[in-house]
Structure 1
Amino acid sequence: MSKTLKARCIRRWEIRFRDMCDSKISAVWHKQDLRGYIRDAALTTADCMVDRMAEDNARVDFCGYVYGWSPEFAAWYNERREQYRKEALDYLNEDATNDEIDEEIESEIDCWND
């Protein structure tokens, strides 16, 4: 893919909220929200995707399975965090699909409603 993960997340958030940010439809959301609040939410989504993948990959390398977080793993991961984040970002920049990004967006929106 030619666009970065962050750029694609921003685009998918804009598409998701485009109709809601029309002043004819909503008295709350406006077009400038797409450039402000919605953009920040998109960047958070991208960072969460990278962090989750980096942590999952590190846990598999550390103990062979994805679940669990121990003090030993935390110390081990802390020394290798940037390496795993870089690998995850490189992978997601190339291979993350719009469906995966949309799923993350829906998860984020669900958290807003909790």
Structure 2
Amino acid sequence: MSKSLKSRCIRRWKVQMRPVCDSKVSPHWRKYHLRGFLRSVALTTADCMVEKMAEDNAKFDYQGNERGWSPEFSAWYRERREQYRKEALDFLNVEATSDEIDEEINNELEAWND
């Protein structure tokens, strides 16, 4: 894909929220919300996707005795975090599908409702 993960997340958030940001439907949300607020939320979604993949890849690569976050893993990951984030971003820029982005958006919307 030629578009980055961040631009696709922004686009998918706009598509998801367009029916809600209609003055005929909602007394609170308006079209101008699609620019500022939703852009920042979309960038957060993209960053969370990258961070989650980076952590999962690091956990897979870590050869320690314990599973999950241990002090040893935390120290090991801290040294390699940027490398894993870059690899995850490069992969997601190419391989992330609209369905995966929509699923992440729906998870975030569900978290808002909790």
TM-score greater than 0.5 by the shorter chain: yes
Matches within 5 A, 1:39-50: 39-50=39-50
In structure 2, C-alpha distance between the alignment counterparts of 1:109 and 1:24, rounded to whole Å: 21
| Larger RCO, structure (CA 8 Å, separation 6 or more) | 2
TM-score, L = length of structure 1:
0.95
Match of 2:2?
Answer: 2
Task: Give every structure 1 segment of 4 or more consecutive aligned residues whose post-TM-superposition deviation is greater than 3 Å.
Answer: none
Match of 1:113?
Answer: 113
In structure 2, C-alpha distance between the alignment counterparts of 1:103 and 1:84, rounded to whole Å: 22
Give 1:24 deviation, angstroms: 1.9
Give 1:22 deviation, angstroms: 1.2
SS of the residue 2:62 aligns to: helix
Letter in 2 for 1:17: M
In structure 2, C-alpha distance between the alignment counterparts of 1:36 and 1:26, rounded to whole Å: 18
Identity %: 68
SS of the residue 2:32 aligns to: helix
Letter in 1 for 2:19: D
Match of 1:78?
Answer: 78
In structure 1, C-alpha distance between the alignment counterparts of 2:7 and 2:93, rounded to whole Å: 10
Matches within 5 A, 1:52-63: 52-63=52-63
SS of the residue 1:63 aligns to: coil
Match of 2:23?
Answer: 23
SS of the residue 1:89 aligns to: helix
Give 1:68 deviation, angstroms: 1.1
Q: Which runs of 5+ in 2 are unaligned?
A: none
What is the aligned-residue RMSD (CA, Å)?
A: 1.1
Q: Which runs of 5+ in 1 are unaligned?
A: none
Match of 1:96?
Answer: 96
In structure 1, C-alpha distance between the alignment counterparts of 2:108 and 2:53, rounded to whole Å: 16
Give 1:63 deviation, angstroms: 3.3
